[in-house]
Structure 1
Amino acid sequence: MQLETLATGPSSELTVAARGHGYSLQGQAQAHGGIVINMESLNVDEIKVYGGEYPYVDVSGGELWINILNETLRYGLAPRSWTDYLHLTVGGTLSNAGVSGQAFRHGPQISNVQKMEIVTGW
């Protein structure tokens, strides 16, 4: 998650940060003296599980890992790698690679992402 600096006049700049549930290791979800945009309302809140030879799940970046785990378990599936604390969002943990207790076996979460669509709005 990158911070954007916007020019607001001839000699001033304004820092803008996007914030979901607030998970960030180095303060990316904060903007001292700037604007923090609450992105939680953009959560699609839909989890699609696809079975078959190569099962996968399609989710929004604002979805909580606990919801994904609960939904995939209904199909006898589970993510290969998830965060150690399940009440964090997919987007938040992926923005930091998603290193967790399962990383030694299946790699970090980001290594298990097949496709990602990023909408910046800029």
Structure 2
Amino acid sequence: MSTTTNTTRATLPATGALIGTGVVATAAASVATMAVAAAGNAAGVSLDIGAAPIPVAGFSVLTAFFSLIGVVIAALLSRFARRPRRTFVRTTVVLTVLSLVPDVIVDAGPATKALLMLTHLVAAAIVIPAVARRLAA
């Protein structure tokens, strides 16, 4: 006697929950990075890169854009990866580290570079765990 096991995943509800969580985490990270940038600027850290200032709202917009790309990556991994959570965490940690490279080489003062890197880390600390919790181990 043999038994057949159905291994089809219910991807639609899980993907909806993943995207919903990702959007909420993206919004939280966008607000947080804007707050960090505003606090740094209020404390006297310049937001100038080269001769051009970065608007505080720009932190929010870029955080939202790249966080949503992370949500898309998570959705794809949930569908195609054998271990979606582990793959997502490893991928996004590597991408976060790579996102720090431009901050290191940009034409800005050390405090500005540190503030830029801090905003990347704040966004990652909010989005990565929230989205990872929605992925299958």
Q: Same fold (TM over 0.5)?
A: no
Q: Which structure is higher in helix share? A: 2
Higher relative contact order (CA 8 A, sep 6+): 2
Higher-Rg structure is: 2
User: Structure 2-normalised TM-score?
Assistant: 0.29
